[in-house]
Amino acid sequence: MAGLLRTEAGKGLALSAPASLYVGLLVAAPLGILVAYSFWTQTYVEIDKTLTWANYLEAATDPLVRHLMLRSILIAGAVTAATVALAYPIAYFIAFRTQKKTLWLLLITIPFWSSYLLRVFSWKLILGFNGVLNSALISLGLIDEPLTFLLYNEFAVVLTLAHAWAPFAILPIYVSLQKIDRSLLEAATDLGCSKLERFVRVTLPLTVPGIIAASLIIFIPTVGDYVTPSLVGGSQGKMIANLIQVQFGPANNWPLGATLSLVAMASVGFAAILFAVLATALGRRIR
Amino acid sequence: MSEPLNKPLSPAVSKARRKPIRFPWLLAYAVGYLIFLYLPVLLLPLFSFNDGTIVAFPMKGFTLKWYAQLGEQDTLLQAMINSLTVGAVTALVATSLGLFAARAYVRYRFKGRELSEGLVMLPLVIPGIIVASSMLVLFISLGLKPSLTTVILGHVFVALPFAVSIMKSAFDDFDQSLEEAAFDLGESVIGTFRRVTLPIVAPGIVASLLVTFTVSFDEFVLAFFLSGNQPTLPVYIWSQIRFPAKLPNTLALGSLLLLASVQLLLTAEYFRRRSTKSASKSA
């Protein structure tokens, strides 16, 4: 043992072991127990530990589960698309059109050093029926009646999350834009590409890795987001996390909650892999 | 290869291409986007001084009473103490784990390094609700009642990727020959670490402590599941959001928290930059 600790490999393993064991254990153990729970059933106060597929059957046949799962994935997809589309021009601006890169990057990240819960709460106040936006528009005389489509729907969820994830999209795209060899762009121009062509055929394909990274970072946690659908989603904007919370909280059906967590995780993984494969293929195609 | 062939020409060419006076669409977009980013963050402080219970325009008068009332709420103070405790312990544990792991990743080549590096970043990409629910099930199964301890266990998990990446960049530019010199001059392994390595990466450690503290201080979902009847500040705020009468107080409290978070992280950023600067200076 002492001999092993003197080698490069031994030292590396020993130093990194506490961190990787901590994360490894806290990923594996809860997951294992979650799997066990998903095969048990809840009988009022007791847990019936007879192994059964009942929870999976319920998750597969209950229209509410299917509906919320599908909606979560669609909303997460919309959030990802909106965030990346809104962030791309900013990343482009910082990479190519300004000298003050550090300042801009700092300006963009500062708002996200504040509590996520509070930012979502603030959007609720902005978008509400008697909220900031409506009252401001009425004070300015632009509208007579408060707009009702702002809060408690999918739109509010997508807007709030597109705001919440902004730097996670801007930074990876900025990095991939920054990495582009500028002489490639000059070559494209010298060879007669118009600006648009140059963007579509040179710049955009070279940033596909950044776009994929940004999309995955945003998509995966968004599917399981709890705070935003609870605060601004209303009944139209509820997502799978809300249902999972109900099972672990008020409904007190942990086995079903465990099953839903596992199903959600599997769906997210599947959707993410599908997306990464499609995006990579598409990126090659454009070139 | 990467040098453009017409290098002396290119700056002039690209400047000439950019020269024609036209509306700077991208700049305008960037400014608009910044307003979008800052709107919700500046709104809370703005209305926290508003002398009215409704958050809407036109604003009433200026008041500080919502802030003054905060001091009288015992549950709030208790939640604040809980959050500070959880944040401090989380920061210490996560930074220690991160310090050793980052050191291993930067300094040593070993089998399983990439796997281990990937593993410690995993908490960033697992949806919060899944981490929260699965940890709740685990802790209950182990006979661990939801409490501040379970919150700390969860927060270390989510804060670890931040600690590791900050410490990694602190070690990245660290000149190894300094340690070798210390060895050669007769320092022990521990002595070298304490007297050479630690002082050089100290700004990185401070940055990591501040960032992990803030991550824990602002975290809601895990604390919501794992705190039992010992709410942290975000859990307390969550319970207050439902009561419209409490809204102005929540705004005042939220504004204070925003200020604290931004302040802490700007300080962390300052130390992080100093750490890269001092490391590259010594290199």
Interchain proximity A20–B101, CB inside 8 Å: yes
Interchain proximity A224–B116, CB inside 8 Å: no
Domain at A92, CATH number: 1.10.3720.10
How many angstroms separate the Cα of A151 from the Cα of each of A126, A144, A205, B66? 9, 18, 37, 26
Query: How many folded domains does chain A comprise?
Result: 1
Residue A278 within a domain: yes
Higher pLDDT, A98 or B281: A98
Residue A50 within a domain: no
Q: Residue A205: which domain range?
A: 63-286
Residue B241 has, within 13 A of its CA and on its CB side, a CA count of 20
User: Nearest CA to B54 among A98, A131, A23?
Assistant: A131
Specify whether the CB–CB gap between B214 and A109 falls below 8 A: no
Specify whether the CB–CB gap between A133 and A126 falls below 8 A: yes
Specify whether the CB–CB gap between A215 and A80 falls below 8 A: yes
Residue B89 within a domain: yes
Which residues fall within 8 angstroms of residue B188, CB to CB, at 6 or more apart?
none
User: Nearest CA to A254 among A14, A1, A46?
Assistant: A46
Residue B171 within a domain: yes
Cα–Cα distance for residue pair B88/B78, rounded to 1 Å: 15
Residue B5 within a domain: no
Quickly state the pLDDT bin for B262 (edges 50, 70, 90): confident
Interchain proximity A132–B56, CB inside 8 Å: yes
What average pLDDT does range B25-40 have in this prediction? 91
CB-based contact, B225 to chain A, within 8 Å: yes
Cα–Cα distance for residue pair A175/B81, rounded to 1 Å: 40
Q: Is the pLDDT of residue B16 over 70?
A: no
* φ and ψ of B90, to 5 deg: -55, -45
Strand partners, A48: A41
* φ and ψ of A224, to 5 deg: -100, 20
Residue A51 within a domain: no
Residue B244 within a domain: yes
In sign, the C-alpha dihedral spanning B32, B34, B35, B37 is: positive
Q: Is the pLDDT of residue B283 over 80?
A: no
Interchain proximity A113–B261, CB inside 8 Å: yes
Q: What's the pLDDT tens digit per position in A180-219? A: 888 888 888 889 888 888 888 888 888 988 898 899 889 9
Residue B216 within a domain: yes
Cα–Cα distance for residue pair A111/A163, rounded to 1 Å: 10
> Which pLDDT does position A75 carry in this prediction?
93
Quickly state the pLDDT bin for A144 (edges 50, 70, 90): confident
Residue A136 within a domain: yes
CB-based contact, B41 to chain A, within 8 Å: yes
Cα–Cα distance for residue pair B153/A269, rounded to 1 Å: 25
Segment holding A46, helix H or strand E = strand A46-48
User: Nearest CA to A75 among A209, A231, A238?
Assistant: A238
Q: Is the pLDDT of residue A286 over 80?
A: no
Q: What's the pLDDT tens digit per position in B94-111? A: 999 999 999 889 888 888
In sign, the C-alpha dihedral spanning A194, A199, A203, A205 is: negative
Q: What's the pLDDT tens digit per position in A13-43? A: 888 889 989 998 988 898 898 898 899 888 7
Mean of all residue pLDDT scores within chain A = 87
Residue A4 within a domain: no
Q: Residue B215: which domain range?
A: 75-282
> Which pLDDT does position B3 carry in this prediction?
43
State the nearest Cα–Cα gap between B283 and chain A, in angstroms. Answer: 22
Cα–Cα distance for residue pair A186/A238, rounded to 1 Å: 49
Mean of all residue pLDDT scores within chain B = 84
User: Nearest CA to B160 among B131, B134, B133?
Assistant: B131
Residue B235 within a domain: yes
Residue B130 within a domain: yes
What average pLDDT does range A246-269 have in this prediction? 89
> Which pLDDT does position A111 carry in this prediction?
85
> Which pLDDT does position B147 carry in this prediction?
92
The H-assigned helical ranges of chain B are: 10-18, 25-48, 65-70, 74-107, 113-121, 128-141, 148-172, 176-184, 189-192, 198-218, 221-226, 233-241, 247-282
Residue A80 within a domain: yes
Strand partners, B50: B62
* Best residue in A7, A20, A139, A177 for a mutation probing chain B (most B CBs within 10 Å): A20
Cα–Cα distance for residue pair A7/B270, rounded to 1 Å: 36
Cα–Cα distance for residue pair A154/A225, rounded to 1 Å: 13
Q: What's the pLDDT tens digit per position in A51-95? A: 888 889 888 888 999 999 999 999 999 999 999 999 999 999 999
Residue A47 within a domain: no
Q: What's the pLDDT tens digit per position in B49-105? A: 888 777 777 778 788 888 888 888 888 899 999 999 999 999 999 999 999 999 889
The H-assigned helical ranges of chain A are: 2-6, 8-38, 54-61, 63-96, 101-109, 116-127, 132-139, 154-164, 166-179, 182-190, 195-198, 204-206, 208-223, 227-232, 240-248, 254-286
Nearest to A117 among B4, B123, B234 (CB): B234
Quickly state the pLDDT bin for B7 (edges 50, 70, 90): very low
Q: What is the DSSP letter of A101?
A: H
Domain at B174, CATH number: 1.10.3720.10
Cα–Cα distance for residue pair A127/A123, rounded to 1 Å: 6
CB-based contact, B176 to chain A, within 8 Å: no
Interchain proximity B262–A113, CB inside 8 Å: yes
Q: Is the pLDDT of residue A104 over 50?
A: yes
Could you write out the DSSP letters of every residue in B95-117?
HHHHHHHHHHHHH---TTHHHHH
Interchain proximity A183–B3, CB inside 8 Å: yes
State the nearest Cα–Cα gap between A202 and chain B, in angstroms. Answer: 16
Whether the ω angle into residue B234 lies within 30 degrees of 0, i.e. cis, is no
Quickly state the pLDDT bin for B278 (edges 50, 70, 90): low
Structure tokens given for A110: 């500062």
- Number of neighbouring beta carbons within 10 Å of residue B118: 11
State the nearest Cα–Cα gap between A262 and chain B, in angstroms. Answer: 8
Higher pLDDT, B18 or B33: B33
What average pLDDT does range A214-226 have in this prediction? 89
Cα–Cα distance for residue pair B34/B220, rounded to 1 Å: 26
